[in-house]
């Protein structure tokens, strides 16, 4: 039985979801050359509005945050207007949608913004090249100065305000998957010896400042966060990372976030320094609303909710293959299987 997936769920007094199935953020690289959402994106999101919540594809907070081609932004009026068409369409279908706010940090590339360098916690280069543009190899980042960190905090808060102006119901801060905020939280990427590195208190200082600035701007009930305690994507793990995330989760507990979301591709992964799965580690250290993700089916996700591993189930690739995922699951119709060719289409 998967009936629990179709129960309504209150994130807080302001936001109630019609069910516990969430459309996970899915980078589709379908914005136009000015990083403005397209009419095709309006249709794409509207068709999936029967999920309890849609989390938008990762959306950059400012030009130097871009690490992939044609990823949408939320830093100018055209982009805000483009997203307003998306949110209006989702709301007309009775859905809710959060914007995922993103800066890619050391996996950004100067090619996209005609820059001299990209910013990161430390001058620690990641190996490889830009997905979809393999001719662009990653560059050595510049360690962000204190002034640059201060401006980043301001720009995250402004992007959150822009999201609300664009009609989003809230924002999810992308603090996972090896991008900028996550880079501050892992010893592999953060080699700083100032107030932003070297200890759990210092390594969490920037992420917590971003969260606090956004809460001050739009409210905690509209603010969510995605985290990756287990390093696995563009990042190597370090046993010391555990203490960083234990400290972070303790600081998050009283902030009354809308939810906390795991950043995982596969939740069967285990991390020695976390004592098992990242999901179980977070659940043991955080008592508020938790969103699970990472290869779940409706059946396995429902069972995980029943077993109190998490409260909401985020579904990724099956939503690409099945715009009507919720209806199909509810009626027991066989799902269309995802394949990578579908990434070339926006349906």
- DSSP reduced 3-state for 101: strand
| Tens digits of pLDDT across the chain (347 residues) | 899 999 999 999 999 999 999 999 999 899 999 999 999 999 999 999 999 999 999 999 999 999 999 999 999 999 999 999 999 999 999 999 999 999 999 999 999 999 999 999 999 999 999 988 888 999 999 999 999 999 999 999 999 999 999 999 999 999 999 999 999 999 999 999 999 999 999 999 999 999 999 999 999 999 999 999 999 989 999 999 999 999 999 999 999 999 999 999 999 999 999 999 999 999 999 999 999 999 999 999 999 999 999 999 999 999 999 999 999 999 999 999 988 777 766 66
The reported pLDDT for the residue numbered 345 is 67
Q: Name the H helices within 8-145.
A: 39-46, 77-92
Cα-Cα-Cα-Cα dihedral of 128, 129, 135, 139, to 10°?
A: -90
The reported pLDDT for the residue numbered 346 is 63
Kindly list the domain boundaries of the chain, sorted by start residue.
3-344
**179 tagged catalytic:** yes
The reported pLDDT for the residue numbered 131 is 85
Length of the chain: 347
- DSSP reduced 3-state for 120: strand
Question: Where does residue 278 rank: exposed (0-12), middle (13-18), buried (19+ CB within 10 A)?
Answer: buried
Output helix, strand, coil percentages for the chain, rounded to the nearest 5: 40, 15, 45
Residue 230 to residues 23, 183, 269, Cα–Cα distance (Å): 22, 12, 9
DSSP code, position 38: P
Cα separation, 209 vs 311, in Å, equals 26
Cα separation, 83 vs 332, in Å, equals 33
Cα separation, 11 vs 168, in Å, equals 15
The domain made up of 3-344 has a fold known as TIM Barrel (3.20.20)
pLDDT tens per residue, range 70-119: 999 999 999 999 999 999 999 999 999 999 999 999 999 999 999 999 99
The reported pLDDT for the residue numbered 1 is 84
pLDDT tens per residue, range 143-188: 999 999 999 999 999 999 999 999 999 999 999 999 999 999 999 9
Among residues 179, 259, 296, 325, the one annotated as catalytic is 179
């Amino acid at each position: 039985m998967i009936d629990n997936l179709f129960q309504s769920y209150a994130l807080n007094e302001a936001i109630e979801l019609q069910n516990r199935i969430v459309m996970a953020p899915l980078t589709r690289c379908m914005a136009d050359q000015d990083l403005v959402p397209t009419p095709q994106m309006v249709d794409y999101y509207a068709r999936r509005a029967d999920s309890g919540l849609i989390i938008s594809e990762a959306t950059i907070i400012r030009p130097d945050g871009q690490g992939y081609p044609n990823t949408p932004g939320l830093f100018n009026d055209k982009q805000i207007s483009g997203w307003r068409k998306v949110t209006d369409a989702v709301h007309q279908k009775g859905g809710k949608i959060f914007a995922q706010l993103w800066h890619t940090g050391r996996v950004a590339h100067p090619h996209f913004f005609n820059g001299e360098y990209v910013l990161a916690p430390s001058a620690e280069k990641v190996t490889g090249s830009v997905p979809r543009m393999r001719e662009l190899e990653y560059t050595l980042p510049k360690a962000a100065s204190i002034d640059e960190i201060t401006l980043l905090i301001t720009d995250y808060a402004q992007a959150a305000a822009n999201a609300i102006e664009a009609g989003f119901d809230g924002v999810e801060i992308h603090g996972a998957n090896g991008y900028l905020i996550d880079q501050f939280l892992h010893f592999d990427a953060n080699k700083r010896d100032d107030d932003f590195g070297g200890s759990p208190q210092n390594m969490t200082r920037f992420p917590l400042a971003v969260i606090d600035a956004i809460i001050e701007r739009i409210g905690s009930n509209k603010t969510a966060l995605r985290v990756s305690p287990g390093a696995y994507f563009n990042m190597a793990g370090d046993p010391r990372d555990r203490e960083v995330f234990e400290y972070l989760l303790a600081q998050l507990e009283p902030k009354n976030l809308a939810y906390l979301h795991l950043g995982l591709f596969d939740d069967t992964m285990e991390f020695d320094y976390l004592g098992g799965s990242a999901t179980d580690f977070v659940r043991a250290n955080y008592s508020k609303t938790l969103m699970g993700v990472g290869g779940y089916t409706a059946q396995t996700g429902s069972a995980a909710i029943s077993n109190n591993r998490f409260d909401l189930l985020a579904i990724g690739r099956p939503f690409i293959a099945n715009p009507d995922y919720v209806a199909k699951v509810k009626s027991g119709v066989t799902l269309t299987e995802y394949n990578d060719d579908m990434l070339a289409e926006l349906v």
